[in-house]
Amino acid sequence: METLKVLIAIATIVAVVYFLVKKYDTKLVLLVAGVFMALVALEPMTAFDAFAKRMTTGGLIQAICSVLGFAAVMKITGCDKHMINMLAGVLKKAGIFLVPVATLLTFSINIALPSASGCAAAVGSIFIPLLIYSGVRPVMAAAAVFSGTYGSMLNPGLSHNPFVAKLANIPVLEVINAHKMATISSIVVAAITLGIVAIYLKEHKGYVSTDEDFKVDTEFKVNPIFALVNIVPLVILILGFTGAVPALKMGVAQAMLIGAFIAVIVTRTSPSEVSKKFFDGMGGAYANILGIIITATVFVSGLKALGAVDAFIQILINNPSLAGIGATVGPFLLAIVVGSGDAAAFAFNEVVTPHAESLGMSIENMGSLAALSGAIGRTMSPLAGAAIICAGFAKVSTIDVVKRTSFGMVLALITAYVVLVVM
């Protein structure tokens, strides 16, 4: 009977992957799958209780909603555009290093603008025409921006960071501190690799476009103060966490709210409009990001009810060397297939990461590895929203874009594994 239940769980996982590939709503697929497995196990309330419990996880709600609220404020005040245009000035001077520099700058911007698709839209609208104008072929210009869209791993409000912090019972910035070297090393490797690919394919210079859509706005005047408002919350959190300025030690939500107030003062944007956008951003974060976390929890509760979780953990306990590989390869492959690293990473972190210490890893390292692997996998998926946006700006195919990002992302994945597991 137990074997039959595990087989049903495996069949359900296959069905989940199928429906996600078919672009059904992620939240709906995970929710239905979780409830279905709980019903088969004759424990329906397990799924509903998991839903109710995860709805009110305080630390996650505070961090994630406040960050997306702040991001909405940066958009309505125009501060994000000033930051991107200021960094575009650096890009103009990059010469032969245009492609890897574009990737690293996108990565840096994505730290402050944590949505991959939102960052791709904001950055791509400026960087892609600038790269093409500078002689980079359109498909490589799209790949350069797309490759940098997982910088949000270093943002304390990225959904995975507070999630892992809660599992490990440590501050969010300690989670980031645990994976920062792996994350930074991986993007450096990916950027350099993409630059080499661009040179090998002769797509890094010499392209001349007559398309009016690739024109560059040279009249935009950057206000450095507006640009720097984007990083105010991050500076506050770092100074407080490191003890450099003890008075600034505070939570993510408080820092984001202070940043929003400063944005209103500096830009003199209507406070009522800023307030509306801030809370709209918070609501969107709950619906789109916390919704996935909640339904992933329901999905995992169904797996637990069928005994699949215990069976999987037992395999890892008997073969602890597989834990790091599983946290790396599993979320990575699923992210490539479905175009999102979130569902895979959340499911893995719900199931396996609480047992990390018995498998020879710390909770923060294993949880971070799963999240980072999912993000890297998504950055070589033709179904990813950021890939579609970048390809749209460049007027090329997403398949052609990921052909160029894939080699660098595989090397980035290996780098992340080595730094977080081997070293």
Residue with tokens 């440590």: 170
pLDDT band at 125 (very low <50, low <70, confident <90, very high): confident
- Condensed to tens digits (0 to 9), the pLDDT of residues 226-257 reads 999 988 988 898 888 878 888 998 888 898 89
Distance CA 299, CA 251 (A): 30
**pLDDT at position 273:** 93
**pLDDT at position 354:** 87
Contact residues for 103 (Cβ-Cβ < 8 A; gap 6+): 144, 145, 147, 148, 187, 190, 191, 194
Tokens of 330: 């599993």
- Region of poorest pLDDT, from 6-20, 358-372, 393-407: 6-20
**Tally of domains in the chain:** 1
- The mean of the pLDDT values for the chain is 88
As a whole number, mean pLDDT of residues 23-40 equals: 90
Distance CA 337, CA 174 (A): 31
Percent of the chain predicted with pLDDT > 70: 99
pTM of the complete model: 0.83
The burial class, CB within 10 Å (0-12 / 13-18 / 19+), for 311 is middle
**pLDDT at position 307:** 85
- Condensed to tens digits (0 to 9), the pLDDT of residues 144-203 reads 999 999 999 999 888 899 999 999 999 999 999 999 999 999 999 999 999 999 999 999
More confident residue, 218 or 414: 414
Tell me the CA distances in angstroms from 118 to 87, 129, 317, one per residue in order.
Answer: 17, 17, 40
**pLDDT at position 265:** 95
C-beta pairs of 174-181 under 8 Å, 24+ apart in sequence = 174/364, 175/364, 175/367, 175/368, 178/362, 178/364, 178/365, 178/368, 178/420, 179/153, 179/364, 179/365, 179/368, 179/369, 179/371, 179/372, 179/420, 180/154, 181/419
Distance CA 350, CA 344 (A): 10
More confident residue, 25 or 140: 140
- Condensed to tens digits (0 to 9), the pLDDT of residues 58-97 reads 777 888 888 889 989 998 999 988 988 888 888 888 888 9
Distance CA 336, CA 147 (A): 14
**pLDDT at position 1:** 66
pLDDT band at 262 (very low <50, low <70, confident <90, very high): very high
- Region of poorest pLDDT, from 42-51, 191-200, 338-347, 391-400: 338-347
Domain hosting 126: range is 2-422
As a whole number, mean pLDDT of residues 35-60 equals: 88
Contact predicate 156/118, CB 8 Å: no
Nearest in space to 183 (alpha carbons), one of 162, 157, 161: 161
As a whole number, mean pLDDT of residues 25-52 equals: 92
**pLDDT at position 117:** 84
The burial class, CB within 10 Å (0-12 / 13-18 / 19+), for 23 is exposed
**pLDDT at position 73:** 93
